[in-house]
Amino acid sequence: MPVDLQALYPKLIHLMLDTVFVVDRDNQIAFVSDACEALLGYRAEELTGTAITDYMHPDDLATTRASIVRVMNGQPHVDFRNRYIRKDGSIVHILWAAFWSEDVGARIGVARDVTALKEAEDELRFLAHHDPLTKLTNRSLFNDRLDLAIRTANRRTSTLALLFVDMNDFKGINDIYGHAMGDRVLCMVARRLESCVRETDTVARMGGDEFTVLLTDIRSQDVVLEKVAQINAIMAEPLGVEFGGMHMPSCSIGVAFYPEDGEDADTLLSHADGDMYRIKRHRSLAG
């Protein structure tokens, strides 16, 4: 007995995990499969007869309209992404495959929820440029920003400062309290350093207990020395009770100024690193 495919197709469409939309020339939803409720939170009957553009994220309207024009001009679009606003107000990232059917007089689109994929992609991009523990800029991105800052300072004939921050006796924290507590302290150091700088400045973890701070468009060296004093002061503040009475380690901070201490990133980093070790040795001899 032959299979009645015509009768089977509607049931197959409603079984699909992806959502099928049929949208007329005026952007009115003529049909939507049952999967729409999982995608947007609306039942099919709530969406039918309404404008599909009503559910789009407003920031994506322009690019989406351009895609619609492309599809209606006979060019299928099988890899388009945009955002929609769900019934509960949350945002869903959607991957579309769509084409225009002249016979039907509508465009047919298949929508897939790629929110989890988008979040994973964003996380990978973040981790490529940030330290996974402290969430600070990592060495690679910091070097790029330092190179850019040097070029900008050279073009504007302005000055920048590079701070190299090293925690004193940090190994003792790991030895006595364990690496998990040491990681918590490093995160606290990161947050305290961030609290001392402007949004236009950059704080990075270079590795271990070493951090760098890039200060751009500085008015004078005195401003930088005041910043060093501020960092030392905030590092001296006690840790909370959740740290079990442990003392915050002090830090040694080396400074390099562009252009007098170097005109390229490597020279500035080397000078700041050397200045930091000079201060660390002086502290060791004095203590």
Residues 6+ apart with CB under 8 A from 199: none
96-118 per-residue burial string, b: 16 or more CB within 10 A, e: under 16: bebebeeeeebbbbbbbbbeeeb
How far apart are the C-alpha atoms of 268 and 270, rounded to whole Å? Answer: 5
How far apart are the C-alpha atoms of 27 and 50, rounded to whole Å? Answer: 8
Tokens of 168: 């004193």
217 is catalytic: no
Backbone angles phi, psi at 267, to 5 degrees: -65, -40
> Do residues 76 and 99 lie in contact, with contact meaning Cβ atoms separated by under 8 Å?
yes
Residue with the two structure tokens 């000079």: 278
> Do residues 209 and 167 lie in contact, with contact meaning Cβ atoms separated by under 8 Å?
yes
**C-alpha pair distances (Å), 116 with each of 12, 36, 67:** 25, 17, 23
How far apart are the C-alpha atoms of 84 and 182, rounded to whole Å? Answer: 42
Residues 6+ apart with CB under 8 A from 164: 210, 211, 212, 253, 254, 255, 256, 269, 272, 273, 275, 276
Q: Which of 18, 113, 166, 209 is catalytic?
A: 209
How far apart are the C-alpha atoms of 177 and 261, rounded to whole Å? Answer: 39
Strand partners, 82: 94
Task: Just list the catalytic residues.
Answer: 209
